[in-house]
Structure 1
Amino acid sequence: MCCTDMALAYVEAHASWGAANTKPSLGRDHSAFVAVAPDGSARAEFAVEGVRCAACMKAIERGLAPMPGVASARLNFSDRRLAVTWTREAEPDVPAILAALEMLGYTAQPFAPGGLADAEAAETKRLIQALAVAGFASMNVMLLAISVWAGNISDMSPENRDLFHWIQAVIVLPAAAYAGRPFYEGAVRGLRAGRVTMDFPITLGVVLTLVMSVVESLSGATHAYFDGAVMLLFFLLIGRVLDQAMRQRTRAFAENLAALRCERATLAGPDGGLRDVPLAELAPGARILVRPGERVPADGLVENGTSDLDQSLVTGETAAVAVRGGDRVFAGALNGSGALTVRVTAAAGASLLDEVEGLMRRALEARSRALVLADRATRLYVPFVHAGAALTFVGWLAAGAGWHAALLDAVAVLIVSPCALGLAIPAVQVVAAGALFREGVLLNDGTALERFAQVDTVVFDKTGTLTLPEPTLSGGRYAPAALESAARLALSSRHPMSAALVAAAGPAEPFPGAQEAAGLGVRAVVGGVELRLGSARFCGAEAEAAAAVAADPEASVICFRAGDGAPAAFPVRQGLRPDAAEVVAGLAALGHRVLILSGDRAASVEAVARRLGIAEWEAGLTPQDKIARIEALERAGRRVLMVGDGLNDAPALAAAHASLSPVTAAHVSQAAAHALFLGRSLAPVLSVLAAGRRARRLMLQNLWFSAVYNVLAVPLAATGCLTPLIAALAMSGSSLAVTANALRARLATMPAPVPAAHRPTAPAPVAGTS
């Protein structure tokens, strides 16, 4: 019976989940963790500890499915976040779910954004400490072991050999007891729940090796195997630490989304009084006050006030959007300069921010369904090693050998097999991650390399991805004095486009006493003359602004005026990344399909697509639209790499088969992406695809080597041809072999240069802000 079947049978044997005696005494009300959907179904999320492989994921999902009222249970393997949905007729029972998970061998708690950081940090610290202890013990014990090996073929006396064995025991036994805790605890937890996990054969091999080593030392035998046990723990802890580091990064998206959400709002009463209330008390029709610097707590319509809002969550627009009475605003938008009175149209649970979070959560849950190479290898490894060791022990006993000899050969089987397989994937990941880091790419997920290797379609967002994140002053000649004064005023502005004036004018100091006018611009009085920078209306420059827009319809315009002098209009836009054309041409030359999916205006997206030679593009897309397009591509058999940076790209980044985001992206997008890239160049898109293909080849080579090695080594160990000492040496040798092969991933990850025939001419700067 497989572990998932055992877990299912165990849960079905305890079907009375609602009984009072099955619920742990939690001492708190968990109703706050349950969200009720518009259709009446309830949903709660849990942070689950102890999930190590895909088999654990299946055990949990199949184990919770038979519970009364549970409609579905889906575990996100990337961040160990379990989502449980109850039917409309069922009463949500959080303690029963926690009790069920405990019976299955997992500890859990209701998920609270921001509440896992301390637990994650503590687990990472524990693993690093265990790795340090195992590494220190391994180095010292190997020095003693080499002395014993040399002494066994020279003139070492039995007394000295026994002394060296006991010194090894003094070092290894406490070190193994401490360093092996992550594996021992996992094995015990699984056995209590009736499951055999990946930790069990590791624990069994280490414990039996240590016990046999102590027995051999007591009997004055020639060999002891303390070094093999502690080295096995050291190598396996390397992989566990790397996995924990990758996993810790993937859990960040919930905290990042929580940072956009307001917990309270300022409610404006009918009499004009203001009252601070929890977000849950807001209802459609309520009037709320949003002060400068605050985030909008709920979707609504502006009744009074003007301001600039950062609404990149909706459109990807990096420039602040001017809003006034009648304009729609969305939860999570950051209010810039003016106070707004907003009438709520969608409150907590129904806002666009909630919808984006739901899209992201479902995309991550769907993404975690895929089994990667390491999971497949794990599923084969556990029964293979168990069966081999058990058959060896039983076979030798049946052949008339004593228990001592039979146990030695069984231990040899346990020792000889796991290390090459355990390092086959992590070794390549570490080396390839280092090579990509040197090229400005930071991997954000343990499955990233395998996913990049399978990509055949690349989808780009436009703003901040194909274009540079910072705006630049566009064309034209300007009076140096006007540009200098405008730039000094721009230093006092929070408008994103004002940075273009500062960059164009060079180093300067802001005017003293400059003040920002809500939703309009910045003013200052210098030498008795009022200087203004901001909108055309604010500067009385409507004609100049209209002329600038007519000359460049895709540019944003910032206006400047000094007293009664002639105003100036500065067109500002975002240029393409310097190598965007070469990268797109390189992708096409390699046979990849390239598209643009953007929330920006059609004219702006079309201009970029035309200059880059991208035939397929769509504009004005919402986060839902982007996910729908990506899912359609996936259903057509494509493997999509999404490259984006905005908050509105985060669900699409999570839904795509693979994803890449610039390090300047919104924090939510960074957390959703499989990798981040640094700098102004778009070349990392080519780098990750080349590195992924190379890494996958090396992973497969290592797995095949591990399989061949085990096919040869396990029978030799089972037939008594390998002592545990030789098995430990073979294990170390196989580990060195797969590590040496993995080092080939350090080679350049960039593909060959784009052929001249495919290389377009350098494009002109492109307008657009989204």
Structure 2
Amino acid sequence: MNSYDAWAHPRVAAQVLRSRRDGHSEVALRVESLQGAQQVLRLEQAIYALPGVRGVNVDTAARRVRVVWDMQRTTLPSLLKAFASMRCAAQPLRSDSIDDTRTREAHDMLKRMLVAGMFAMQVMTFAFVIYIGVVDFVDFTTRGLFRWLSLMASLPVVFYSTNPFTTGALRELRQRRLGINLPVALAVWLVFVASTYNTIRGTGEIYFDSVTMFVFLLLAGRYVELRARHRSSALGDAVIDSTPLLAERRRADGTLETVPAIELLPGDQVHVSEGSTVPADGVLESAGVQVDEALLTGESTPVMRQRGEHLAAGSVLLTGPAQLRVEHGGEATAVARIGALGARARLAREMSLQRGDADLRRFVARVLILTVVTAIGWWLVDPSKAFASAVAVLVIACPCAFALTAPAALTRALGVLAQRGVLVADSAALAVLARADLAVLDKTGTLTVPHLDREDIEVVREGDTDTVLSMAAALARESSHPVAQAVAHAAAGLALLRASDVFVTPGGGITGRIDGHEWRLGHIGFALRLDDYSPDDRLWLADDMGAVAAFTLRERPRNDARATLDTLHSQGLDIQIASGDTATRVEAVARMLDIESWHAAQTPESKLALLQEARARGRVTLAVGDGTNDVPVLAGADVSAALATGTEVAQAQADLLLLHGHLHGLVEARAIARQVQHVIAQGRRWSLGYNLCAVPFAALGLVPPWLAAIGMSLSSLAVVVNAWRIGRPHEATPVLRA
């Protein structure tokens, strides 16, 4: 967007650089073209070759690169030029985006897994000598030596690799709840303590090979699940990273100055060069331009934006340059709100997974009870087999596979939906969406797209069509309601007027001051301030002297509305329209979309009452809307969805956000939701069936602990791998028929 030299300015560089205690600097960079292992390797080699570079960390999934280097030897502009020379243009990110949590978490898990794997191989080598002694003579001194070597090789595994399970078990005990970590920690420590005791006294069975293998395989399963969760967060990072940090603001004398984009204020004039990214939400005040809005709309096809139309932060200017009047900057931009929603989605998912569920607690309780019963039973029959059999039951029946089923499936589902343009604010909403049997949809802006032609404008007082349209557009640009946006789009190319003191009344219209006079745009009662009036389908523009013009807006269904509703109906959902519009217009749309049940002239309160009545009859409700007047029904439904083109308040209340502004995202979300339920049920059936088959053999002493560890770990890995079926095309058909 700007020359690389702009990053040499201390005030600008301070946004992106983080000083380390060792005196070096660190920066996070967004590299959109990053893909392929060979490209990553070449890029790393090129950056490491720069003077003063101490570390390079590449996150391919998130398209992020972190560099630690000495600023005295290589400047930030030189670093960015090096990326550009590798055909990997890099955009610096704010320093607060340098979050070590994800990297530290992955590295910590990987190190623990590698330590467990390395020492498990050593223990298995030592155990091989001991096993030989069963069928061939090995003197007792040699056997004793290898038992001690096994003990020493197991220490790093038990005291380092097992630490997450141990601390997790202690935390669960303090919270007085049963979780996955408790049986794992019990199995590891019981086996280790008993084996250590037998090693010291020189007799009895040892199971160091079992415990190290058990920990390694379990950590491998957790690492696979962790990497999957991190990949699902990549889209949220892409959204947050998309807006540039710098902008070219025009001074009062017409010259340009480079400023941090976060400092842009409403009303600022911004120059955007061809090929650059729009730094803030605003109104185009120059000639028409072609932009790529794939980040917000999901459409790769460029779109034309004319003078007076809105440009969203994060859009890429394909032709230009353009002059932009800022409306929202920094954290108030649409793309920033979407990024915040993505972060909220990840937090909600993590909290829900931490809370666990009642089924898991019951499962853990049964495993512990079964272990105690097995130990008591063998103690009465043959005490020498009591410990080994109890440990085998504890290990083989460990609820790891049971506990991993839901997190693995939800992690995969959220990642797939994010890639397809659906952000899920609460993972619990997917289970409800799969069971929904009634969909209540708003009409205007949700099912239909309003459109205004100039011949549909009736001027009832002085002025011409262009004049009244400019007046109406000045008010309409201050609202994100689809009707207001239709008026604003109709005025593209006309002279821009400024409205001040603008106030939007949900369900009424817009009030504002233009050239010192108050104007109102809305339905006839609102615009003309009438308490008693006949219903009128038109949009009215009025001032204190009365009506000025009436606008007849035409409606057409969204391109994907009919196909979406037909698909949902075929899956068992009853479809209803609940709209605040007049009966004539609602009936016309219902007829076009073949919807039998519709409700017109609905207030926010009556929409909510309609929904509550359906819920009282036992219906599981899905509400879909986009406006401020839809907030009560979105909040009151069992599960709700909002379009990204709608208002901020509606988006904040929805469980699902359709980023692409397409209703077909509902079909995608419901299909994935039903796949999730199918995979979770399948995984838990597998876990229960596996335990029913394997536990009796373990309880009878027929399964040694090392074999139990292999069986449990393979079962857990199978559940994680099975979750990756979610979202694959060939999996959709059988799941949807379930």
Q: With the length of structure 1 as denominator, give the TM-score of the two structures.
A: 0.52
Q: Work out whether 1:645 is the aligned partner of 2:626.
A: yes
The equivalent position to 1:441 in structure 2, one of 422, 425, 428, is: 422
The equivalent position to 2:113 in structure 1, one of 107, 115, 138, is: 138
The equivalent position to 2:539 in structure 1, one of 537, 556, 560, is: 556
Give the letter for the 1:522 counterpart: I
**1:463 aligns to what SS in structure 2?**
coil
Q: Name the structure 1 match of 2:394.
A: 414
Q: Name the structure 2 match of 1:354.
A: none
> Residue 130 of structure 1 contacts residue 180 of structure 1 at CA under 8 Å; is this kept in 2?
no
The equivalent position to 1:387 in structure 2, one of 369, 377, 400, is: 369
Separation in structure 1 between the aligned mates of residue 456 and residue 634 of structure 2, nearest angstrom: 41
The equivalent position to 1:522 in structure 2, one of 497, 514, 530, is: 514
The CA deviation string for residues 722-761 of structure 1, in whole angstroms up to 9 with x for no partner, is: 2322222111110122223222212239978xxxxxxxxx
Separation in structure 1 between the aligned mates of residue 721 and residue 107 of structure 2, nearest angstrom: 23
**1:462 aligns to what SS in structure 2?**
coil
Separation in structure 2 between the aligned mates of residue 160 and residue 508 of structure 1, nearest angstrom: 88
Q: Name the structure 2 match of 1:223.
A: 208
Flag the 1:682–1:380 CA change in 2: closer, same or farther, 3 A.
same
Separation in structure 1 between the aligned mates of residue 162 and residue 359 of structure 2, nearest angstrom: 25
Separation in structure 1 between the aligned mates of residue 677 and residue 184 of structure 2, nearest angstrom: 26
The CA deviation string for residues 424-480 of structure 1, in whole angstroms up to 9 with x for no partner, is: 222222223333223222223233332222222221122332235xx643463899x
Q: Work out whether 1:725 is the aligned partner of 2:700.
A: no
> Residue 165 of structure 2 contacts residue 184 of structure 2 at CA under 8 Å; is this kept in 1?
no
> Residue 500 of structure 2 contacts residue 514 of structure 2 at CA under 8 Å; is this kept in 1?
yes
**1:642 aligns to what SS in structure 2?**
strand
> Residue 579 of structure 2 contacts residue 600 of structure 2 at CA under 8 Å; is this kept in 1?
yes
Q: Name the structure 2 match of 1:169.
A: 155
Mean Cα displacement is larger for which, 727-736 or 225-234? 225-234
Separation in structure 2 between the aligned mates of residue 375 and residue 742 of structure 1, nearest angstrom: 19
Separation in structure 1 between the aligned mates of residue 374 and residue 661 of structure 2, nearest angstrom: 59
The CA deviation string for residues 584-606 of structure 1, in whole angstroms up to 9 with x for no partner, is: 23333444311112344444433
Flag the 1:436–1:667 CA change in 2: closer, same or farther, 3 A.
same
> Residue 180 of structure 2 contacts residue 403 of structure 2 at CA under 8 Å; is this kept in 1?
no
Give the letter for the 1:595 counterpart: Q
Equivalent residue runs for 1:69-80 within 5 Å: none
Equivalent residue runs for 1:222-301 within 5 Å: 223-224=208-209, 225-229=211-215, 232=218
> Residue 454 of structure 2 contacts residue 490 of structure 2 at CA under 8 Å; is this kept in 1?
no
Q: Name the structure 2 match of 1:185.
A: 171
Equivalent residue runs for 1:334-413 within 5 Å: 375=357, 377-402=359-384, 405-413=385-393
Cα-Cα RMSD: 4.9
> Residue 393 of structure 2 contacts residue 698 of structure 2 at CA under 8 Å; is this kept in 1?
yes
Give the letter for the 1:594 counterpart: I
How far has the Cα of 1:213 moved from its partner?
Answer: 5.8
How far has the Cα of 1:685 moved from its partner?
Answer: 1.8
How far has the Cα of 1:384 moved from its partner?
Answer: 1.7
The equivalent position to 1:712 in structure 2, one of 693, 696, 711, is: 693
How far has the Cα of 1:410 moved from its partner?
Answer: 1.9
Separation in structure 2 between the aligned mates of residue 499 and residue 649 of structure 1, nearest angstrom: 18
The CA deviation string for residues 269-305 of structure 1, in whole angstroms up to 9 with x for no partner, is: xxxxxxxxxxxxxxxxxxxxxxxxxxxxxxxxxxxxx
Q: Report sequence identity in percent.
A: 29
Q: Name the structure 2 match of 1:495.
A: 478
The CA deviation string for residues 318-359 of structure 1, in whole angstroms up to 9 with x for no partner, is: xxxxxxxxxxxxxxxxxxxxxxxxxxxxxxxxxxxxxxxxxx
The CA deviation string for residues 593-642 of structure 1, in whole angstroms up to 9 with x for no partner, is: 11112344444433332322212112333444334323332343433222
Separation in structure 2 between the aligned mates of residue 391 and residue 378 of structure 1, nearest angstrom: 20
Separation in structure 1 between the aligned mates of residue 707 and residue 151 of structure 2, nearest angstrom: 17
Separation in structure 2 between the aligned mates of residue 125 and residue 385 of structure 1, nearest angstrom: 37
How far has the Cα of 1:234 moved from its partner?
Answer: 7.2
Q: Work out whether 1:476 is the aligned partner of 2:455.
A: yes
Separation in structure 1 between the aligned mates of residue 389 and residue 647 of structure 2, nearest angstrom: 56
> Residue 424 of structure 1 contacts residue 703 of structure 1 at CA under 8 Å; is this kept in 2?
yes
The equivalent position to 1:615 in structure 2, one of 578, 582, 596, is: 596
Q: Work out whether 1:424 is the aligned partner of 2:405.
A: yes
Give the letter for the 2:208 counterpart: H
> Residue 536 of structure 1 contacts residue 559 of structure 1 at CA under 8 Å; is this kept in 2?
yes
The equivalent position to 1:698 in structure 2, one of 664, 679, 687, is: 679
Q: With the length of structure 2 as denominator, give the TM-score of the two structures.
A: 0.54
State how many pairs are aligned.
Answer: 475
The CA deviation string for residues 160-215 of structure 1, in whole angstroms up to 9 with x for no partner, is: 7855653442254134335643432121331xxxx766664455335434544655
Flag the 1:182–1:650 CA change in 2: closer, same or farther, 3 A.
farther
Q: Name the structure 2 match of 1:463.
A: 444
The CA deviation string for residues 134-154 of structure 1, in whole angstroms up to 9 with x for no partner, is: 443123312332354356447
Separation in structure 1 between the aligned mates of residue 167 and residue 560 of structure 2, nearest angstrom: 50
Separation in structure 2 between the aligned mates of residue 214 and residue 508 of structure 1, nearest angstrom: 85
> Residue 556 of structure 1 contacts residue 573 of structure 1 at CA under 8 Å; is this kept in 2?
no
> Residue 123 of structure 2 contacts residue 153 of structure 2 at CA under 8 Å; is this kept in 1?
no
How far has the Cα of 1:517 moved from its partner?
Answer: 7.3
Give the letter for the 1:185 counterpart: R
Give the letter for the 1:440 counterpart: G
> Residue 698 of structure 1 contacts residue 741 of structure 1 at CA under 8 Å; is this kept in 2?
yes
Give the letter for the 2:478 counterpart: H
How far has the Cα of 1:523 moved from its partner?
Answer: 3.9
Structure 2 stretches lacking a partner, 5+ long: 1-95, 133-141, 233-351, 503-510, 734-738
Separation in structure 1 between the aligned mates of residue 116 and residue 645 of structure 2, nearest angstrom: 47
Q: Name the structure 1 match of 2:139.
A: none
Flag the 1:447–1:216 CA change in 2: closer, same or farther, 3 A.
farther
Separation in structure 1 between the aligned mates of residue 658 and residue 599 of structure 2, nearest angstrom: 24
Equivalent residue runs for 1:583-598 within 5 Å: 583-598=564-579
The CA deviation string for residues 698-721 of structure 1, in whole angstroms up to 9 with x for no partner, is: 222111111110112222222222
> Residue 473 of structure 2 contacts residue 491 of structure 2 at CA under 8 Å; is this kept in 1?
no
Give the letter for the 1:724 counterpart: P
> Residue 645 of structure 1 contacts residue 669 of structure 1 at CA under 8 Å; is this kept in 2?
yes
Flag the 1:222–1:689 CA change in 2: closer, same or farther, 3 A.
closer
**2:623 aligns to what SS in structure 1?**
strand
**1:745 aligns to what SS in structure 2?**
coil
**2:634 aligns to what SS in structure 1?**
helix
Flag the 1:558–1:172 CA change in 2: closer, same or farther, 3 A.
farther
Separation in structure 2 between the aligned mates of residue 160 and residue 612 of structure 1, nearest angstrom: 77
Give the letter for the 2:108 counterpart: V
> Residue 443 of structure 1 contacts residue 675 of structure 1 at CA under 8 Å; is this kept in 2?
yes
Flag the 1:384–1:440 CA change in 2: closer, same or farther, 3 A.
same
**2:412 aligns to what SS in structure 1?**
helix
Flag the 1:687–1:628 CA change in 2: closer, same or farther, 3 A.
same
Q: Name the structure 1 match of 2:10.
A: none
Separation in structure 1 between the aligned mates of residue 231 and residue 426 of structure 2, nearest angstrom: 9
The CA deviation string for residues 644-672 of structure 1, in whole angstroms up to 9 with x for no partner, is: 23444344334433332223445554454
> Residue 540 of structure 2 contacts residue 549 of structure 2 at CA under 8 Å; is this kept in 1?
no
